[in-house]
Amino acid sequence: MIRQTVRDLPVPGAADLAIRDLPREIAVHDAHMATVPGMNLIETGGAAPGAPLSLPLTVGAWNLERCLFPEASAVRARDCDLLLVSEMDHGMARTQQRNTTAALAGALGAAYAYAVEFLELGLGSPIELQFCDDGHNARGYHGNGLMARGALHQPFALRLRGKRQWFFDAEQPRLGERIAVGARIETTDGPFLAVSTHLESACGPEHREDQVAGLIAAIDAEFPGLPVLIGGDLNTGNHNHGNWRAEGLFDVARAAGFSAHGGPEEQMTTRPSLITRWPDRAQKLDWFLARGMTLGPVDIRPALDPSGGPLSDHDLIVARIEALQHGA
């Protein structure tokens, strides 16, 4: 697990960015990633009261698709005491070089932890180039985070099992692998573990099943006995004709004592956006996995600003933690 924290992730140097010339081998990728400081640190920041949160508390999970609009997104999630986020840019030209996680947390009055999923060499897809004001990335980081209106204790990050698919991408090679980032949250009813994650899209369901199994095993080894909430874009149904019900990750989670919460079965969680311009695309990708707690019904909120403009290609899922059961 990654445990070392910093207040500001370091800017990658020329040696860190020398990815295109590396042999396309997993061992080479992993050896290089181990030398890049920003890939092995957790950025923490923001400000929140240190007092424990009171139950019930409102939790959200949101893939913000680069987070083009941190302040407008904060309005949509303004009642969330805890927010699990993915696809967050940090120093990317397409989002004006902003630290989008810090900006979102600031707008919510929350503390945050952020870990890098990918170090990107390019500016993004052809559509994303339309959003770039610069011809370079100040950092090139893209990753996941969590934020809370209370202190984040023992922050950690964990790279999930994978095949380094994006390192082998010919058009936009990236350094990195899917990641989970989490922390212990103190409440007046005791602590629980909150984990934000983003499973692989460019694979079949067996791959995601392995990622969930590895994540749960790591959590159980490091934080035994704590109630756990995992949330994020689990990419259920990707490369499987949208059939989220056939994902083995749900069986893995249930066998480990987790329940799955994704809102009404017929309600999808994706929509067309400024970046993803596919009007017919509709999938159910976003979930909470809960253990040792009572989670209320999931509300799927449209990812739209007050004028009806899209904030992301994923809707925000929101629920309430009603109670905790320690030692469950």
In this prediction, residue 328 carries a pLDDT of 53
What is the percent of the chain with per-residue pLDDT over 90, rounded to a whole number?
89
Two tokens, residue 175: 């350094």
The residue to which tokens 């011809």 are assigned: 135
Which tokens go with 3?
Answer: 């445990």
Q: Smallest Cα–Cα separation from 313: which of 90, 78, 89, 67?
A: 67
Is the pLDDT at 326 greater than 80, yes or no?
no
DSSP 202-260: SS-HHHHHHHHHHHHHHHHHHSTT--EEEEEE--TTTTTTT-GGG-THHHHHHHTT-EE
| Both tokens assigned to 96 | 């004006």
- Joined tokens for residue 89: 């840019």
pLDDT at residue 278 in the model: 80
- Segment 269-295 shows an average pLDDT of 94
> Cβ of 184: how many Cβ atoms within 10 Å?
16
The mean per-residue pLDDT over the stretch 280-307 comes to 96
- Structural domains in the chain plus CATH codes: 5-324 (3.60.10.10)
Comparing CA positions, the residue from 217, 221, 301, 292 lying closest to residue 258 is 292
User: What is the distance between the alpha carbons of residues 57 and 266, in angstroms, rounded to a whole number?
Assistant: 26
The residues that bridge with 143 in the sheet, in sequence order, are 88, 116
Tens digit of pLDDT for each residue in 202-231?
899 999 999 999 999 999 999 999 999 999
Residue 145 and residue 170 in contact, taking contact as beta carbons nearer than 8 Å: no
| pLDDT at position 170 | 79
Q: pLDDT tens digits for 247-280?
A: 999 999 999 999 999 999 999 999 999 999 987 7
Give the pLDDT mean for 141-165: 96
pLDDT for 240: 80
Q: Give yes or no for residue 327 having a pLDDT over 70.
A: no
pLDDT at 171: 77
Pairing of strands 190-198, 228-233: parallel
